[in-house]
Structure 1
Amino acid sequence: MAEGNQTVVYLSEQVVVLCSCALSFVGSSLIILTYIMWSDLRTTPRRLLVYLSVADWLSAVSYAFGVWRVFRSDSQGCVAQGAISTFANTSSFFWTVAIAVYLYVFIVRSSQRVADSLVLLFHLVSWGVPLAITVAAVSLNKIGYDASEVSVGWCWVRIHAPDRVLWMLLTGKIWEFLAYLTLPVLYILIKRHIHIAHAALSEYRPILANRPPSHSFSSMADMKLTLIPVIFIVLRIWSTVRFILLLAGSPARLNPVLVTLHGIGNTSQGAANCIMFVLLTRPIRTRLCAALCCCSKYRAGEQPSHGAPQRLLPGQDTSTQREEDSTSRVRTDR
């Protein structure tokens, strides 16, 4: 797969990774748009998710440009693309960990005040540290053509830099390793705290209510707490494997399957977050479906009646809506 000092990126790899970039672009945009559209969703955890989505959006765009161009030298476009992707990718690591820290303080430590006070620190660290590292790397001429040794067409740390391993660590890998260790620990502690609280509450459920409790929302939240670190590791592990193979001098890092998995993993974080926090979140999914139905009616030329509500409440069907319309107006938002 290697020709001289240049790693070949096959057309099939380009197509697959570009599709992954497109999905991540759409997913990150959808998270941002839902936050803007519905004011009742503007909680602090979802605001942190929006900041993460901004970083993932920027990563998807910069990676797509790099995969599309497949740079062959240290051109200005290569350096610019490498700098943007380095900043965005490193920022994504920090925001991912910041969300876990916020949830840990808020849920386990039961202190919303302390958790909210950390948001400013999150901004300083999650934007400031990646920016400082990127500026230093560009100023010292460390960002540029890397022959796709640990990338898939895009630019990162220059292949000819004598201290390239050090800068690969500083511009991404060391933060990636720390995220591997931090995320599972924090989410395990959160899940353990929630399970203990549920066990204690279950003793009093018979006298608190006559109807059986619904576990749909708690089970979905529990599943998300499990999936967040698992998905992060599954997506990012391929780039880590290629980095380790590079350190070992193994030609296995050029395997087309491994290269493709690396490209998909590095560019899919935005799409994965959209699936978990938009498509698998029932209230948001219901609103999106209602908005899409409304758009399709307008395109078909069906104007809604003046007094008809434009949105169903989460979990409300059309028959219930008709009954409520006969007595009162349905609230459009919760």
Structure 2
Amino acid sequence: MAAGNETQVHVYEQVATLISCGLSVLGSLLIILTYALWADLRTTPRRLLAFLSIADLLSAGSYFYGACRMFDRESWDCVAQGAISTFSNTSSFFWTVAIALYLYVFIVRANQRAADGLVQYFHLVSWGVPLSITLAALLLRKIGYDASEVSVGWCWVSIRARDHVAWMLLTGKVWEILAYFTLPVLYILIKRHIQRAHATLSEYRPILANNTTSNSLSSMADLKLTLIPIIFIFLRMWSTIRFILMLVRSPARQSPVLVTLHGIGNTFQGAANCIMFVLFTQPIRTRLAAFFCCRNQPPTSQQRGDTNTPSYSNGTVPQGWDSDN
């Protein structure tokens, strides 16, 4: 490894990364918990979100271990941590795109049967492809110490491998960059379709259009459809920037600000999903409050989820995905 190719990770960068990892672990567990506790939340979109949370949980946990260890050389646990993070991080990319594709087929194509039929292929691709890539990288000894060139203390693709750039692309960066383009396109198409559906409803059913609650729910669902790709890109872009800077051998890749943003961005996805789909979902907040604080109180109709959700034909997202279901 050439001199100067090792990025020094400062204590505050390490602490920021560990806090982000911890929040993502808690957030992912909370999403999985809500799915396991309440049967009426076990819709297909929420099930896909639970699988994404499993991948994010593994990812955050492996990054937490790597950030704690702050590897300075290759070792067995460096390789193990690198393999787990490679698998889970790549799987997270696939599940994130899979959810967007499911919503597109369900909403825009108006074909729930086709959307549900995709789930088995989502499992095959989102678990199978990352596992195959990770096993190949392990067998060819490509995973190891990367000198924090495109990480923050954890291990990934060995910086000593001659073809490390190609393996960095294959084990993450290609899928990450593809997601940058795929997610905005799918969610823009979904938003446009919902907006057209609501415009039609407002023309033929003025009473519904003037309903404050209906408008509020639609606005929250619309906001989430906007935030999903924006948050994903904002969190992941810092690692991509550092990867590009590494390719051009720019010393800017070692900037403390950029390293800190990379450490937080790569590890915060589970927490971000929890904020959007648990903490910003009022009925789930109510249920959690009752579960943790007021177990002896009988649930209200809202806590039981007795809300009347318009069908997809009215321009709504699938039940279990929007702000109040």
Scaled by the length of structure 2, the TM-score of the pair is 0.90
- Asked whether the equivalents of residues 142 and 167 of structure 2 are also in contact (C-alpha less than 8 Å), the reply is yes
CA drift of 1:311 comes to 2.1
Equivalent pair of 1:290/1:312 in contact (CA under 8 Å): no
How many residue pairs were aligned?
Answer: 304
**Residue equivalent to 1:27:** 27
Q: Aligned letter for 2:273?
A: N
Mapped partners of 1:213, 1:39: distance in 2: 25
| Letter in structure 2 aligned against 1:122 | F
Q: Which has the higher contact order (CA 8 A, sep 6+)?
A: 2
Mind listing any 5+ residue stretches in structure 1 that lack a counterpart? 296-303, 317-333
Q: Which residue of 2 aligns with 1:313?
A: 301
Aligned to 1:204: 204
RMSD: 1.8
Residue 7 of structure 1: CA displacement? 2.2
Alpha carbons of structure 1 residues 170 and 211: separation in structure 2 relative to 1, 3 Å: closer
Structure with higher Rg: it is 1
Post-superposition shift, 1:315?
7.6
Give the equivalent residue in structure 2 for 1:47.
47
Instruction: For 2:246 and 2:4, locate their aligned partners in 1 and report how far apart those are by CA, in whole Å.
Output: 16
Give the whole-Å Cα distance in 1 for the aligned partners of 2:248 and 2:209. 62
CA 1:210–1:8 in 2, change beyond 3 Å: closer, same or farther?
closer
Q: Which residue of 2 aligns with 1:248?
A: 248
Overall identity of the aligned pairs, in %: 71
Is 2:102 the partner of 1:102? Answer: yes
Decide whether the 8 Å contact of 1:291 with 1:311 is kept in 2: no
**1:313 aligns to what SS in structure 2?**
coil
Distance of aligned partners of 1:155 and 1:287 in 2 relative to their CA distance in 1, 3 Å threshold: same
Distance in 1 separating the partners of 2:253 and 2:154 = 16
- Judged with a 3 Å threshold, the aligned counterparts in structure 2 of structure 1 residues 199 and 310 are, in CA distance, closer, same or farther, namely same
- SS of match in other structure, 2:214: coil
Cα deviation for residue 214 of structure 1 reads 3.0
After superposition, the Cα gap between the structure-2 partners of 1:285 and 1:3, relative to the gap in structure 1 and judged at 3 Å, is: farther
1:285 deviates by 1.1
What is the alpha-carbon distance in structure 2 between the residues aligned to residue 209 and residue 227 of structure 1?
24
Q: For 2:298 and 2:69, locate their aligned partners in 1 and report how far apart those are by CA, in whole Å.
A: 45
TM-score scaled by length of structure 1: 0.88
Decide whether the 8 Å contact of 2:145 with 2:156 is kept in 1. yes
Shift of 1:312: 2.6
- Check 1:32–1:212 CA distance in 2 against 1; reply closer, same or farther (3 A cut): closer
Q: Cα distance, 1:212 vs. partner?
A: 5.8
1:192 alignment partner, SS class:
helix
Q: Name 2:319's counterpart in structure 1.
A: none
Query: Partner amino acid for 2:254?
Result: L
1:22–1:115 Cα change, 3 Å: same
